[in-house]
Structures are given as C-alpha cells and as structure tokens.
Amino acid sequence: QVQLVGPGGGLVQAGGSLRLSCVASINILGFNNIDWYRQAPGKGREPVTGTAQNGVTDYADSVRGRFSINRDIPSRTVHLQMNSLKPEDTGVYYCHGRIINDDYWGQGTQVTVAS
C-alpha cells in the first residue's frame, strides 16, 4: 500500500519560514509526480508546487520565488521549503502523489501565518 506522511507545519509570523516534508512508503521515483496542494479556510484545494519524475518542477504564481520543492531520494522524502511567508499562505497543506491513474494523499498539515 502506498502511503504519504507529511510532518511539519505550525504557526509562524509573516516573513518567517517553514519546511514541510512528505515521506513516501515507496521509492519516490515510482511516482509520476509528487505535488503539494493547500486549502485555505472556506476555499477549495489548490496546487502549490510539484515535481515530476524527471525532476522538473513547477510553481503557482503566488509562491514562485518564495517556495522551493526538493527531493531526497534515499530517504523517500519530498520537502517543501516555504520562505517569506504571508498570511494568505495560511491553510492545510497536502502532499499528493500520482502513479499512472492512482492518486495518493497525505493526511494534511496546518500552516498558520500570523500577521
């Protein structure tokens, strides 16, 4: 069974940094892509950033230049480094992985940015 576990998150002041981690139960190269989504209060889930199997990354315009996604293949971990955090970055962050047509989600972790 494929599982994604995402430790990290918490409360931080605006301008601060946090790092989220997503640990997979299998080799992360087995995923077609691994992404981070977030869901702000009262809003739908939106993509934040992702990394494809070949290592190509993509970012939402709202986080480009502030967030960085990195893979640590030996530890089966994908990290999301979040810098210069803003109150509008507040939400529940989810790790997501896709293998062909199957989607796998982490349990979600709360990130709160205080102004």
Q: What is the mean pLDDT of residues 69-91?
A: 96
Residue 12 CB-density burial (10 A; 0-12 exposed, 13-18 middle, 19+ buried) = middle
Q: Which two tokens stand for residue 16?
A: 């601060």
Tell me the β-bridge partners of 104: 97
Confidence tier at 99 by pLDDT (50, 70, 90)? very high
For residue 4, the model assigns a pLDDT of: 76
pLDDT at 1 exceeding the cut of 70: no
pLDDT for the residue numbered 8: 80
| CA distances for 10 relative to 1, 18, 44, 74, 87, angstroms | 28, 8, 20, 26, 13
Q: What percent of the chain has pLDDT over 90?
A: 88
- pLDDT band of 9, cuts 50, 70, 90: confident
Which residues are paired to 67 by β-bridges? 82
34 exposed, middle or buried (CB, 10 Å; 0-12, 13-18, 19+)? buried
pLDDT: is 107 or 39 the higher one? 39
Task: Please state, rounded to an integer, the average pLDDT across all residues of the chain.
Answer: 93
Please tell me which residue, 107 or 111, carries the higher pLDDT value: 111
pLDDT score at 5 = 75
